[in-house]
Every structure is written in C-alpha cells, then in structure tokens.
Amino acid sequence: MVAQTFRSLADLHPGESGHIARVEGLPEVRMRLLEMGLTRGTAVRLVRVAPLGDPIELDVRGYRLSVRKGEARSVSLGNE
C-alpha cells in the first residue's frame, strides 16, 4: 500500500497540474473555493503567477480562475 502524500495548490509551478484531494480552511474561505469549482477530484493547472507572486491563475474546468496564495494553501492536491 502506498502512503497518500499531499501538497498545496500554492506549491505548484507554472505548467504543473494535479487533482484536488481536499479543501480546508476557514468556513467562509472553504465555501468560496468550493463554489468556484475547486472540489475534490477536480483537475487544476497553474497557468501563471503574478509578478509579485500573488495571486496565481489557474485553469479549472475549462475556465481561468485567480486566487490568492493564502487561499491556495487551503487546497491540497493528492498524488496521482
């Protein structure tokens, strides 16, 4: 059996992708992320990072989404 390892959405580099394993954080932040389509099992790809490192732009479900790095740390990606 292989141990499940997680990394944060904020740890991705441009061009890297993963699948969402879980969304945590404060209830209002968690709900906002879920409403934007960041749900378990969803594929995400980091498109680019703003010049000062925040926010980051994601490709999610065929659309582009910008989130703050702090919010991205609430999203864990599972190993594939």
pTM, two decimals, is: 0.85
Which amino acid, residue 48? Answer: R
Query: What superfamily in CATH does domain 9-78 come from?
Result: Ferrous iron transport protein A (FeoA) (2.30.30.90)
Confidence of residue 77 (pLDDT cuts 50, 70, 90): very high
Pick the more confident residue, 78 or 18: 18
Q: Are the beta carbons of 33 and 75 closer than 8 angstroms?
A: yes
Distances (CA, A) of 53 to 8, 37, 50, 79: 15, 22, 5, 24
pLDDT band at 5 (very low <50, low <70, confident <90, very high): confident
Which residue in 26, 35, 16 sits closest to 70, CA to CA? 26
Arithmetic mean of pLDDT, 50-67: 95
Taking residues 48-59, what's their average pLDDT?
Answer: 94
Domain boundaries, the chain: 9-78
Identify the pLDDT of residue 2: 56
